[in-house]
Amino acid sequence: MGEYLGVISMLSFSILSVYLLSRIRMIPGHKIAWIERYGVYFKPLSPGVHFLIPFVDRLVLYDIERQLILNREIIEVNGEPKLSFSMNVQYRIVDERDYHEKNVDQFMRNTVLQVVQSYAERYGTLGISQQKMALQTRIKGIMMEKIVDWGIELSSIDVTSLSELPFYKRISS
């Protein structure tokens, strides 16, 4: 009986040791991390080795440098599709708590599409491909105003494609 107790205790000790070692996490320098304690933001973590409390802590890990790609978004003016629009937005997370609490990619996508739509409604779509730089500057200005509370910093905004859609009549069913 005593030898079984020794085997069981060694097995228990081994399993517990492996589990506790699995709670040690390494954060590389190009990532940003924070701890969620009981599912709520607790604190940021710097790059390095950290121990997470079992059953309590969860590690959330992100790349510091992020990119949002909008590809062939259709912009409607007065209910009709008028523009095809593509762009890349590169940004950097500077405050992980503000970034964590909001969906930045969805916010940026919606903001960009609203700006392009209002630009097209105001200035029209005729010859819009020549207005790419003006539109890009307008998007960057509005994004800079709105991202103050979002924990990010814009690296670059690049409108890759902007073209007027050919006229076609919608078929109603």
The verdict on 74 and 124 lying in the same domain is yes
In a domain, 8, yes or no: no
Both tokens of 170, joined, read: 């919608």
Instruction: Report the number of distinct structural domains present in the chain.
Output: 2
Please report the pLDDT score of residue 88 as a whole number. 93
- pLDDT reported for residue 134: 86
Domain check: are 45 and 108 in the same one?
no
Q: In whole angstroms, what is the distance from residue 27 CA to residue 14 CA?
A: 25
Residues 157 and 103 in one domain: yes
The string of DSSP codes covering 125-147 is STTGGGGHHHHHHHHHHHHHHHG
User: Does any domain span residue 80?
Assistant: yes
Closest by CA to 122, choosing from 135, 112, 107, is: 135
Q: Let me know whether 135 and 85 are in one domain.
A: yes
Look at residue 99 and tell me if it is in a domain: yes
Task: Give yes or no: residues 98 and 144 share one domain.
Answer: yes
Q: Are residues 125 and 83 in the same domain?
A: yes
* 51 and 90 share one domain: no
**Model pLDDT, residue 102:** 63
What pLDDT score was predicted for residue 33? 85
Quick one: 112 and 145 in the same domain? yes
Q: Please give the residue range of the domain that contains residue 141.
A: 65-164
Asked, for residue 43, whether it belongs to a domain, the answer is yes
Domain shared by 79 and 30, yes or no: no
Residue 102 is assigned to a structural domain of this protein:
yes
pLDDT of residue 42: 87
The answer on 84 and 53 residing in a single domain is: no
**Do 108 and 90 lie in a common domain?**
yes
**For position 171, what pLDDT does the model report?**
55
Q: Is residue 46 within a helix (H) or strand (E), and if so which, with residue range?
A: none
Q: Quick one: 86 and 158 in the same domain?
A: yes
pLDDT along the chain (173 residues), means of 10: 83 88 86 86 86 88 86 86 90 75 79 88 80 88 83 88 73 52
